[in-house]
Amino acid sequence: MKRPAVPPPARRMPILLGRLKEAYPDAACALVHQNPYQLLVATILSAQCTDARVNLVTPGLFGKYPDAARLARARQPDVERLIQSTGFFRNKAKNLAAMARSVVADHGGEIPRTMEALKALPGVGRKTANVVLGNAFGINEGVTVDTHVSRLSRLLRLTRHTDPVKIEKDLMELVPREDWTLVSHLLILHGRAVCIARRPKCGACVLADLCPSAKPN
């Protein structure tokens, strides 16, 4: 039997959001951090790496380099050794040092709190800036689009795009601004727990009746 067509994204989004909030009431940033500096460093390290792995590495790194000023003066091989297990460690160490030097030179050692200033830091793109603004400063400037957010947004037909910037724009139109940071956490958690890549558990999914990609299982 043919499935009835689901309503358009704008009608589904409030319901999807409500169900996800109910399913993941503790949704929050998975990168352990105490301040904007730590979150920025952790986010840079999280490229091509799991949050769990980053969380194993950051206590040692923050113990040795507790702020941007200290990191700016670090010897690259020392940083590389501490972050080695996160992968691409030479590049990441270089980016961390350049970012820290720029924070010291241009912002008095404090992590800036605007999209423009964050994006101007070496190794920081819109995605990283969104993570820091939303989670360290509580500023909903955009939606963080990672691989889960991108995949689920397409499966749920909240977007037809593959370009993260375009996906972000679509989500910003559908989701109330106060939930821009949260929606990303919710989709990531759902992508890890239920809507797993290549083996989504549609039969156990709270969004199944509103998901155009739902499969019987």
Per CB under 6 A, 189 contacts ligand SF4:
no
Q: Which of 51, 67, 146, 170 is catalytic?
A: 146
CB of 155: closest distance to ligand SF4 in angstroms? 4
Scanning residues 144 to 183, which ones bind ligand SF4 (CB under 6 A)? 155-156
Nearer to ligand SF4, 13 or 214 (CB): 214
Determine the interface stretch with ligand SF4 among 21-29, 99-107, 142-150, 201-209 (rule: CB under 6 A): 201-209
Nearer to ligand SF4, 165 or 196 (CB): 196
Burial group, residue 122, by CB count within 10 angstroms (0-12, 13-18, 19+) = middle
Q: Is 127 a catalytic residue?
A: yes
Which spans in 24-88 are helix H?
36-45, 51-64, 68-72, 76-83
Alpha carbons 36 and 42: distance in angstroms, whole number: 10
Cα–Cα separations (whole angstroms), residue 95 to 3, 17, 47, 71, 72: 49, 35, 12, 11, 11
Alpha carbons 149 and 45: distance in angstroms, whole number: 19
Per CB under 6 A, 202 contacts ligand SF4:
yes
Binding site for ligand SF4 (CB under 6 A): 155-156, 194-195, 200-202, 205, 207-208, 211, 213-214
